[in-house]
Amino acid sequence: MILFALLLPNVASSDEHINENVIKISEINQSYQIKEKITYSLPQSNDTVYYSFILPEQASDLKIYVENNVINNAINNASLYHVNLSELNLSKNEITVDLTYFIPLETTMFSKTLYYNTSKTEVFYENEKISSNTNQIAPSTFQVKLTKLTDDVSFNLYTLILIVLLIVIIIVTSWYGFFKKKNGQARKRNFESSEVLTTEKKLLLDVLKEIEKMHRNQKISDDSYHKLKTHYKQQTVEIMSVLEDIKSD
């Protein structure tokens, strides 16, 4: 145990730091996949050199690459990992480290604990930048909220769909009211309006099903779920009412 402790660096030296860490988060197979690309400046030392990093407690399926070399013998002490760089015989002062791991989809907050001083950190969710930090001092931890992000993305998407549908509905019902006054064109317009509105009703029902599915999978909060469901259910009822009026004429 004493030998093991002596081999592991406890504190990063003053001349080793991370120039840039790009973190990409995406949803894959009911989990969050985390990909980190780290540009690391090695210390100027003739001693054995380790690259160290800290993972979230719930991280799993870790894969490590150093300058595209697969690393299978990293030393793991709880959530703290150490990679022996001296064994790779790297003849450069700056290297690239790639980490890939997964955290549960139920995770509401992504946390990153810094082992080294870091000049720049960027976090992306599904290729959209959601966080950027500079000149971070180790040891420190920063967090990015994931649940709120998912809710916002879903809510904005369906709000956009709602707006488009509302515009179409207004246009269709306005045309229907105008042409209804003309007996010679009323039957033709009724048929066209009925076809368009039936298609819109089907789209709205599909959206409602998708909202139910996302809520069951905990991809949207209860609050967002009830707001979206109320909006789209109301629009569906209105379209069905217009269709009934068309049929009765």
Domain span(s) for CATH 2.60.40.1730 in the chain:
2-145
What does the pLDDT look like over 203-241, one tens digit per residue? Answer: 788 888 888 888 787 777 777 788 888 888 888 888 888
For the domain 150-248, what is the CATH code? 1.20.1440
Q: Which residue has 């904005």 as its token pair?
A: 156
* Count of beta carbons in the 10 Å neighbourhood of residue 116: 22
What gap in Å lies between CA 232 and CA 249, rounded to an integer? 26
What does the pLDDT look like over 45-61, one tens digit per residue? Answer: 767 889 999 999 889 99
pLDDT of residue 6: 31
Burial 219-249 (b: 16+ CB within 10 A, else e): bbbeebbebbeebbeebbebbeebbeebeee
Cα–Cα–Cα angle for 116, 120, 122, nearest 5°?
115
Domain span(s) for CATH 1.20.1440 in the chain:
150-248
By the 8 A CB rule, do 54 and 113 touch? yes
Q: How far apart are the first and last CA of the chain?
A: 88
Low-confidence stretches of the chain (pLDDT < 50) are 1-11, 148, 150, 182-192
The architecture of the domain spanning 2-145 is: Sandwich (2.60)
- Report which of 15, 20, 10, 9 is spatially closest to residue 96, judged by C-alpha positions: 20
